[in-house]
Structures are given as structure tokens and as C-alpha cells.
């Protein structure tokens, strides 16, 4: 039985988007046909089924077709590059990874470790247009300007995003989350890949953690080919939910995991993600959307409270409030734990970044606990095991 049949999709005589026609178009345009994964086509058809019931108008359907074609052609060329340049021989060693729930300080943490002169971070242009391998390209690669243009279009479409994430002003040289590497694998509908398509995020795409980390590693191999050896400085807001798979894939990974009052992070997340979703698809039902976020977070915080791998010595836990008060000091401690050099240059570069990148430079991001739509005290009771395990204090902000 296919994924579409399992999901209850009914084949129509004239579907809005023909998945097989999309695949054929991408293959004709590239002259390639190997997607590197036998399950890709089935997974792609499943996503197209979700798009076909999203209720988009003709312009939206056209945008979806172009987005799908872009991701398919990128994937075909990416896997062709991997074979042609034998990128599987590239070694990914001791990646330093920022992780934690959305709105818990992971973006600030990522921006700071990206200033480490001994590390290297992915940049948006490298994951938006990865082929050919960036290390083989010219110093002024035209893909950077193309990604800059993409980002200007994204921010024009979602203007409030620059307030909640002022670091988006880095445009194509900005720092993507690791989840963005999975967009061409059709395991998420990440907004920087799907902003042209007027539909809510698809939350039930089939996941395969081992396969996802495989393509994640391939992206790192792709981006480091032809460049000096450095460890990667990365960020993802799902790694701490996948610790077993992460450590299976990267046994020498080093994680810095941030923790914030979960009620505050949930409310902030609803505001941020809701603003992005509303700008992409104005039909958002805020009440239903908030409820879905709260239920997702209930499961996440329960799982974190019970995960034995959270005590692994490859993880350093950092409280959000401590990170906000003294980010350099907290990172110095984390580097010491991992045995990484925290040099005077590292310190100076991080301080210069903080001085030049004030978090409210485009306005103050404002949210309210009222967005949650549930009894706050009962929610704190649900989150108590997580807060007790990681020593997370309650924040009195309303």
C-alpha cells in the first residue's frame, strides 16, 4: 500500500498537480533520474496529495508546481554531484551543535558559535542552491546574490519575520537551521523553501531519522569539499528530540542545549510561527493553530523529561536566562567542557557580533501568554517534570 492510500487520498481523474508529471519534468530538465532514495517518489506523491487538498487558487497551484520543480532539480543535481566528486570521502568531525526548543535562545547561540574562527557554519545560499559544491566556486559566487534576492522576497512576503528574527538581515549569508537541509528530501515544508506556496505547513510527512541525518551529512560534505578542514557549528530545533539517531550518525557530536520557561517559549513560538504561517496563507485559524502548537509541545516536553540520553556527557545544558545575561561566559564554560579552544580571537569576534547585532534593531518582538488559550497553571503542571529535571525557573512575564 502506498503512503497516499494509507492517508486516504482518492485519485482524481484530473488532479490539480500531477506528481509523476512533476518528476518527469525535473528529470527532463536536468537529464538526471537518480534521486538517491528509492522511497523518494512515493514520499513526493504523498506530499503532492496534501497540496492537492489545500484549497489553493490557480496562482497558488502554479507557485507550488515551481517550488516542487526547484526542489526536485536541486536534489537530482545534488546527488549527481555527490557521486561525481566522491563526496562520501569527506570526513565530518566533532560538529558543535546548538539545539533546544524554538524561542529558547538557540538562534543567538548559533550566531555566536558561528563566529568561532575554528568552525564553519552552513549559509543559506549553500543549502538553497548547493550545486556545484560551494568550495569549488568563485569567491563571488552568483548564487549568493540569488539567495539574497530570495531572502528579500521572503521578507517582503513575511515582513514581521525580521522583528522576531533580526538575524534574517544576513540574507543569503545567513545561518540556516539543520532542518532546512531536509527540504529537498520532502520531509518538511520549511518556510524558506515553501514561502511562495499559500498553504499551511504539512505536519504529517513521513519521517526517517537515520535517512534524514544521512542527507544532513551529505550537505555538510558538499559544503566543505575543497575547503580547509574545520569543525561544523550548527543549529537545529529537533536534534534534542532525536538524540539516539543524532549520536548514531555523529558519535563525536557536541551539543549545547538551551532551556527556557516552557510556557514562555510556547507563547513566543505561537506568535512567531503563526505570523509566518499567516503571511504565507492568510486563511489560518489562530485558535486551532495555537491548540496544535500546545499539544505538540506537551508531547515534546514530556519526552525530554524522560529521555535518558539527556544526561549524556556530550551535551552541555544552558539556561536561557543565563545565556541572555552572559552569553560569552556560558560559551566559554561549554567550550571548556568539550576541550575546544576559546581563544582571544574567538572572544573578540563574539563580542563584536553582539555589539553590532542588537536583538531589537528592527523593533521589539511582543507576544502574550493569552495566545496559549489554556489555563496557564495547568500547563505549568504538565511541564513540571521537564522544569524539575533541567532546573528551569519559572518566568513571571505575562
Average confidence score pLDDT of the chain: 93
Q: How far apart are alpha carbons 144 and 123 in whole angstroms?
A: 9
Q: How far apart are alpha carbons 24 and 187 in whole angstroms?
A: 20
- For position 140, what pLDDT does the model report? 81
Q: Which pLDDT tens digit goes with each residue over 56-92? A: 999 999 999 999 999 999 999 999 999 999 999 999 9
Q: Is the pLDDT of residue 5 over 80?
A: no
Q: What is the 3-state secondary structure (H, E, C) of the chain?
A: CCHHHHCCCCCCCCCCCCHHHHHHHHHHHHCCCCCCCCCHHHHHHHHHHHHHCCCCCHHHHHHHHHHHHHHHHHHHHHHHHHHHCCHHHCCCCCCEEEEECCCCCHHHHHHHHCCCCCEECCCHHHHHCCCCCHHHCCCCCHHHHHHHHHHHHHHHHCCCHHHHCHHHHHHHHCCCCHHHHHHHHCCCCCHHHHCCCCCCCCCCCCCCHHHHHHHHHHHHHHHHCCCCCCEEEEEECCHHHCHHHHHHHCCCCEEEEEECCHHHHHHHHHHHHHHHHHHHCCCCCHHHHHHHHHHHHHHHHHHHHHCHHHHCCCEEEEEHHHHHHCHHHHHHHHHHHHCCCCCHHHHHHHHHHHHHCCCCECECCCCCHHHHCCCHHHHHHHHHHHHHHHCCCCCCCC
More confident residue, 275 or 5: 275
- For position 20, what pLDDT does the model report? 97
Among 273, 237, 239, which residue's Cα sits nearest to residue 165?
Answer: 273
- Domain ranges for the chain: 96-128+138-201+230-390
Q: Is the pLDDT of residue 375 over 80?
A: yes
**pLDDT cut 90: percent of the chain above it:** 91
Average pLDDT over residues 215-232: 95
Confirm if 232 and 95 have CB atoms less than 8 A apart.
yes
Q: Is the pLDDT of residue 364 over 70?
A: yes
Q: How is domain 96-128+138-201+230-390 classified at the CATH fold level?
A: Rossmann fold (3.40.50)
Kindly report the number of other CB atoms within 10 A of residue 212's CB atom. 21
Q: Is the pLDDT of residue 130 over 70?
A: yes
Q: Which pLDDT tens digit goes with each residue over 280-330? A: 999 999 999 999 999 999 999 999 999 999 999 999 999 999 999 999 999
- For position 4, what pLDDT does the model report? 41
- For position 15, what pLDDT does the model report? 53
**pLDDT cut 70: percent of the chain above it:** 95
Model confidence, pTM: 0.93
Confirm if 389 and 276 have CB atoms less than 8 A apart.
no
Q: Which pLDDT tens digit goes with each residue over 93-117? A: 999 999 999 999 999 999 999 999 9
Q: Which pLDDT tens digit goes with each residue over 16-51? A: 899 999 999 999 999 999 999 999 999 999 999 999
- For position 8, what pLDDT does the model report? 41
Q: How far apart are alpha carbons 7 and 1 in whole angstroms?
A: 10
Q: How far apart are alpha carbons 262 and 259 in whole angstroms?
A: 8
Average pLDDT over residues 223-227: 94
Per-residue pLDDT band for 3 (boundaries 50, 70, 90) equals very low
- For position 62, what pLDDT does the model report? 94
- For position 398, what pLDDT does the model report? 57
Q: Is the pLDDT of residue 271 over 60?
A: yes
Strand order in the sheet with 315-319: 119-120, 231-236, 96-100, 254-259, 315-319
Amino acid at each position: 500500500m502506498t503512503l497516499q492510500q494509507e492517508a486516504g487520498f482518492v485519485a482524481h481523474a484530473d488532479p490539480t498537480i500531477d506528481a509523476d508529471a512533476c518528476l518527469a519534468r525535473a528529470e527532463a530538465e536536468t537529464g538526471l533520474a537518480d534521486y538517491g532514495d528509492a522511497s523518494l517518489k512515493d514520499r513526493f506523491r504523498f506530499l503532492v496529495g496534501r497540496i492537492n487538498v489545500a484549497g489553493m487558487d490557480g496562482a497558488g497551484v502554479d507557485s507550488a508546481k515551481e517550488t516542487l520543480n526547484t526542489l526536485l532539480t536541486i536534489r537530482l543535481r545534488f546527488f549527481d554531484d555527490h557521486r561525481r566528486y566522491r563526496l562520501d570521502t569527506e570526513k565530518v568531525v566533532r560538529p558543535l551543535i546548538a539545539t533546544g526548543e524554538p524561542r529558547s535562545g538557540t538562534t543567538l547561540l548559533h550566531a555566536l558559535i558561528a563566529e568561532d574562527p575554528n568552525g564553519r557554519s552552513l549559509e543559506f545560499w549553500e543549502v538553497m542552491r548547493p550545486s556545484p559544491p560551494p568550495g569549488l566556486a568563485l569567491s563571488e559566487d552568483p548564487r549568493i546574490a540569488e539567495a539574497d534576492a530570495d531572502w528579500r522576497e521572503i521578507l517582503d512576503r513575511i515582513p514581521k519575520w525580521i522583528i522576531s528574527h533580526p538575524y534574517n538581515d544576513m540574507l543569503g549569508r545567513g545561518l540556516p537551521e539543520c532542518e532546512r537541509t531536509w527540504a529537498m528530501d520532502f520531509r518538511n515544508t520549511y518556510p524558506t523553501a515553501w514561502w511562495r506556496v499559500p498553504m499551511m505547513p504539512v505536519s504529517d510527512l513521513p519521517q526517517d531519522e537515520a535517512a534524514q541525518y544521512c542527507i544532513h551529512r551529505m550537505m555538510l560534505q558538499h559544503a566543505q569539499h575543497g575547503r580547509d578542514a574545520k569543525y561544523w557549528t550548527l543549529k537545529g530545533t529537533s536534534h534534542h528530540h532525536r538524540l539516539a539517531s543524532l549520536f548514531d550518525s555523529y558519535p563525536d557530536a557536541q551539543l549545547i542545549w538551551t532551556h527556557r520557561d516552557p510556557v514562555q517559549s510556547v507563547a513566543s513560538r505561537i506568535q512567531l510561527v503563526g505570523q509566518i504561517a499567516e503571511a504565507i496563507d492568510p486563511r489560518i485559524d489562530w485558535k486551532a493553530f495555537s491548540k496544535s502548537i500546545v499539544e505538540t509541545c506537551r508531547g515534546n516536553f514530556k519526552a525530554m523529561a524522560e529521555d535518558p540520553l539527556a544526561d549524556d556527557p556530550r551535551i552541555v545544558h544552558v539556561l536561557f536566562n543565563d545565556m541572555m545575561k552572559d552569553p560569552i561566559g556560558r560559551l566559554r564554560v561549554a567550550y571548556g567542557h568539550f576541550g575546544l579552544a576559546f581563544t582571544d580571537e574567538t572572544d573578540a569576534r563574539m563580542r563584536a557580533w553582539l555589539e553590532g547585532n542588537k536583538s531589537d534593531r528592527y523593533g521589539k518582538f511582543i507576544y502574550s501568554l493569552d495566545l496559549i488559550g489554556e489555563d496557564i497553571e495547568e500547563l505549568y503542571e504538565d511541564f513540571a517534570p521537564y522544569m524539575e529535571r533541567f532546573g528551569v525557573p519559572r518566568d513571571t512575564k505575562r
